[in-house]
Chain A
Amino acid sequence: MYDPTVARLTYRALLGRRRAAILFVLPALLIVIAVAVRMFAGADDQVASDVLGGFAIATMVPLIGVIAGTGAIGPEIDDGSIVYLLAKPVSRPTIIFTKLIVAIAVTMVFSAVPTLLAGLTLNGNGQQIAVAYTIAALVASIAYSALFLLLGTVSRHAVVLGLVYALVWEALFGSLVPGARTLSVQQWSLALAEKTGGNGAITSDVGLPLATVLLAVVTVAATWYAGQKLRTLKLAGEE
């Protein structure tokens, strides 16, 4: 199910020169903010929770998820070089699975590690806040990668669609319509963080059992469907 060559190629595509720059800039910004806030405001659990919840989980993780998830397959489909990969005797679900693993690994490294570092900087893991948000980032990485990898196979506007989901659905509708929060990867992963963190430090709108089930279902279903899509992939020229 895991093909090392496909993985190596995907790593190289994702971490190539310029692409890696944006992946490094975002975590660096988070760390800088964490250091600045710690110097201005001192260690404070609520502030730490605000920064990690408002910036790391709400904006940074989805964005890195979009870049890694769609970047793992989108450009190849876009420029047509995917045919060389598809022509090899490797099953399509294996390709998707391998790319998913790579996307998850990249998203985790670039979102969870800085989240942990920022959390430790902000309040030295008081009330388990740093660890809780790191767990949320790890879990969200898996779901986002699967979701955006699927988008990459479905549409050539995958990045835009992914951003629409992350910005408009999760951020805008999520803050206006309470029901939209039930269908949001961010809230599902926060449900796990809620259990880890100290009492009342982190809140989620979704219960833990429901969140776990939804996360698993979305990840598995998206991966399976992406494999199916790749089996019947049509290559179209640029419109």
Chain B
Amino acid sequence: MSTETGAAAGSETSRIHNIGYRAYDGPRLGRAYARRSLYSQTLRGSFGLGRSAKSKVLPMLLFGVMCLVAAIIVAVAIAAPGTTKLPIKYTSFAIYLQAVIGLFIAAQAPQAVSRDLRFKTVPLYFSRPIEHGDYVLAKFAAMASAVFVLTGAPVVILYIGALLGKFDFGDQTKWFAQGMVSVLLLSVLFAGLGLVMAALTPRRGFGVAAVIALLTITYGAVTTVQGIAWSTGSEGAVPYLGLFSPITLIDGVQTAFLGATSAFPGGNGPGAGIGVVYLLVVLALIAGSYAVLMRRYRRVGL
């Protein structure tokens, strides 16, 4: 076929330069399409879909654990006679299972960005009609969606269970909506922090450790200090200390605005006043991690 088109090219002298490659004249799907593909690939990839069986094990296991725990809670609530509501609040679920969520982010955030950096495929992405902002937006949105699926599914299971158990519809729906809002906030915050840590370290293993350090170590530190502040009689300091770790931030916001019960020592969560500070810090962290990612990718490969 190449000989035909080559021969058709005209004069003898030009033949050597025309070996018959044809220009692409199909539809060009453009920037939005590329961004959407990047989003769906990353989202699927974070649950191991479209990747090897081995890489499905961990995310699916974590997802299974989340759903299983929710299902058990529902089963217990329905089986026990005379219950009128679930044994835990929708908002408490993610706080209880934060270790699972942390592991998911730690394992999947580096998966989403570190490998692109390490194998230097980022410049290849940018040779497509996407901009740096598109890449960051797609990865951020995909990671947040993945965490939202992980944390939202059990809340939905709890809600369906509550409705099947014929608990009060109005109350349950209201609490469910509050739970979903808190989970959404948590997903975006955690995805942002996880991606920032992962994007700073091209080594996958090291990114995992950095993410888990950010999420767990700060939580361990904050709860330890909170416990001490509580037991030594400086209860006033407890809500302020919660500002220093991601999960206690979410805890504080949902305690102040979403009717949750705080896991702080003595249930001493922030009131509406400090709650505003919590909300501002959360929003600042989300915006900050987005800005850091934009800045990080402005330089890569250029």
Contacts and interface: CB of A to CB of B under 8 A. Distances in A.
Interface of A: 18-19, 22, 25-26, 29, 33, 36-37, 40-41, 44, 47, 50-51, 54-55, 58-60, 63, 66-67, 70-71, 74-75, 78, 157-160, 163-164, 167-168, 171-172, 238-239
A19 B205 CA distance: 11
Contacts of B279: none
Given A41-B228, A59-B217, A74-B205, 17 more contacts: A19-B206, A26-B213, A29-B221, A33-B224, A40-B232, A41-B232, A51-B224, A59-B220, A63-B209, A63-B213, A63-B217, A67-B206, A75-B206, A159-B209, A160-B103, A160-B107, A168-B103
A18 B206 CA distance: 9
Contacts of A75: 203, 205-206
B41 to A, nearest CB: 15
B227 A50 contact: yes
A115 to B, nearest CB: 14
B40 interface: no
B31 interface: no
B106 A163 contact: yes
A22 B228 contact: no
5 contacts: A18-B200, A25-B213, A41-B228, A159-B205, A171-B99
Q: Give me the 3 closest cross-chain CB pairs, A-B, nearest first.
A: A59-B220, A159-B205, A41-B232
A131 to B, nearest CB: 20
Given A22-B213, A78-B205, A36 B106 contact: no
Contact of A63 (B55, B212, B225, B231): B212
Contact of A60 (B54, B107, B204, B217): B217
Given A47-B232, A159-B208, A159-B209, A164 B224 contact: no
Given A22-B209, A33-B225, A167-B216, A160 B106 contact: yes
A161 B227 CA distance: 29
B208 A163 contact: yes
A25 B216 CA distance: 14
A163 B232 contact: no
Interface of B: 51-52, 54-55, 58, 99-100, 102-103, 106-107, 115, 119, 200-201, 203-206, 208-210, 212-213, 216-217, 220-221, 223-225, 227-229, 231-232, 234, 237
Contacts of B107: 157, 160
A167 B210 contact: no
A18 B208 contact: no
A24 to B, nearest CB: 12
Nearest to A160: B107
B209 A67 contact: yes
A163 B103 contact: yes
Nearest to B231: A47
Contacts of A55: 220-221, 224
A167 B102 contact: yes
B58 A157 contact: yes
Contacts of B201: 18
Contacts of B103: 160, 163-164, 167-168
Nearest to B201: A18
B224 A160 contact: no
Nearest to B215: A167
B224 A22 contact: no
Contacts of B237: 40
A158 B203 CA distance: 13
A167 B205 contact: no
B205 A71 contact: yes
Contacts of A239: 51-52, 54-55
Contacts of A157: 58, 107
A128 to B, nearest CB: 21
